[in-house]
Chains A and B, each alone.
Chain A
């Protein structure tokens, strides 16, 4: 209540300065009059009375200044005036301003661009609701002995294991299976045009369990999986490339390895599949037709449903809220161990045991391990570049302040406090940094695009709020580092000497 009142009164002083000043003038004037009238009653004449009052109580203007500086709004007011003054000073030396801002912009922009890569590859969760609940299932020491795999030893499971684990509803609210139709691309035909595209076969709960939203149409249901329905969901970018975002794509037929599928949905923009380093173009429910075998495997060798010893399914689960990884492992391990033996007969007691583990969905799967070190080194390097930029701007500021010694001396001689000067100059530095940051952010946008194109990663390196926060943090530390450094020399000018030795700036009489 009183805070609101305080705020309101302060804002009134700021924005209706004229009126507030007039009222203060009138009130204080009245005070003066009354005091003088009192003195005149005692026999003084008017002039002497007014003078006596001023002598006793200080000048009217002094009093006004005291009252004005009492509220919080006076701080805002001086800050605003400092800012206007700083803009004027910087505009006086556009060359200096341009060079300083460009140097800072390059440093800040480089850092932001590299951090955006780090953010995408190492830190960002999949763009799905509650991504902390999602975990990839892993086998750190590979599948049991005697089974066939697809090469991805640490993340492939057999169909019996999937069936057993997906029933564990105390742990997983949903367990989703997915696998590619081929290591690379498969043949797809839309109308008359044959082409190659990347497609995954997924369980019926894939989209609902992940929480993927849809631009058009719908995702799969569990019946689509059990019936091996001939329906397909397209990714947003594939829909854009092949159908020009036409709404009539829904209901069209596309042929995957010659088998017709009906388009029923398009995922929302920003979802690139679970391994976004190479985005997935389309998804179909799990199929049992020999020509649509997982991984493009020869059906006479292995099939998804017919070969319990073929470990070819990748799994991602969504934990029931509140379940921790260790609790989950405790519950799942016995189930996993018995399901792992399906098709293997009696296990050799000496054979190695497979261990179940989880891996978070942060960053980009597969890229995190390979690129963690290089990205950190790169970030350290651009950090150094920024430090050099700061040092340069700092030197520029020192040089500039040396030429302003006369200005500072005059202001100190006229009664400006040194802290007031410091504040003024900090405002100038912050203004420089603000300009540099804005410019740097624009650099970063094109820089991160260039990095994405150069690295061949198909998803854009997003500049999200985390990146913005990082940029602001480094900018503010920049402003403090090089803003404070040159100040000492500036405010400790020997006023008298400077004034005497520098040229007079007014024309001789």
Chain B
């Protein structure tokens, strides 16, 4: 495990949020924890950028939010992926794979 966690790579937070929500509907804190867990502690999105991303995705119609009770009897806003969000996630994943492979090829060139 690296000694310091950092904010996610610029421009990828939207995609990561979509991916997290594709697994199951979740609230803001859950998304943040999930991203940290799945990245094994490399990424730790701060609350400001996270909620900004959520607001943006919601306005683009990629996710929907709903108030629901949490397990310890409080209220939190849970987000689910819409059909459009699912399509966007698969297209972005494809595109990201292409770009990452290209960058890797460049860096490995000797």
Contacts and interface: CB of A to CB of B under 8 A. Distances in A.
Contact of B56 (A24, A31, A57, A70): A70
Contact of A2 (B27, B60, B77): B60
Given A30-B29, A70-B56, A2 B47 contact: no
Main SS of chain A's interface residues? helix
A506 interface: no
A63 interface: yes
A57 B28 contact: no
Contacts of B56: 70
Nearest to B51: A67
Interface string B76-102: 110000001000000000000000000
B60 A6 contact: yes
B74 interface: yes
Interface string A48-71: 000000001110001100110011
Nearest to B52: A70
B50 to A, nearest CB: 8
Given A9-B58, A30-B76, A35 B48 contact: no
B39 interface: no
A28 interface: yes
A66 B55 CA distance: 11
B75 interface: yes
Contacts of A1: 61
A28 B75 contact: no
A154 interface: no
Interface string A4-39: 011001100000000000011011101101110110
B59 interface: yes
B55 A70 contact: yes
Interface band, chain B: 20 to 34
A30 B48 contact: no
A399 B85 CA distance: 56
A31 B48 contact: no
Given A62-B48, A66-B48, A70-B52, A6 B59 contact: yes
A3 to B, nearest CB: 9
Given A6-B59, A66-B52, A67-B55, A33 B74 contact: yes
B60 A30 contact: no
A157 B75 CA distance: 90
Contacts of B55: 67, 70-71
A2 B87 CA distance: 14
B59 A31 contact: no
Nearest to B46: A57
| Residue with the greatest number of chain A CB neighbours at <10 A, chosen from B28, B30, B33, B48 | B48
A62 B28 CA distance: 17
B76 A27 contact: yes
Given A30-B27, A31-B29, A71-B59, A58 B47 contact: yes
Nearest to B65: A27
B52 A67 contact: yes
Interface of A: 1-2, 5-6, 9-10, 23-24, 26-28, 30-31, 33-35, 37-38, 56-58, 62-63, 66-67, 70-71
Given A27-B28, A35-B29, A67-B52, 15 more contacts: A2-B59, A2-B60, A10-B59, A26-B75, A30-B74, A30-B75, A31-B27, A31-B28, A31-B51, A33-B74, A58-B48, A63-B46, A63-B48, A67-B48, A70-B52
8 contacts: A2-B60, A2-B61, A9-B58, A28-B28, A37-B72, A63-B47, A67-B51, A71-B55
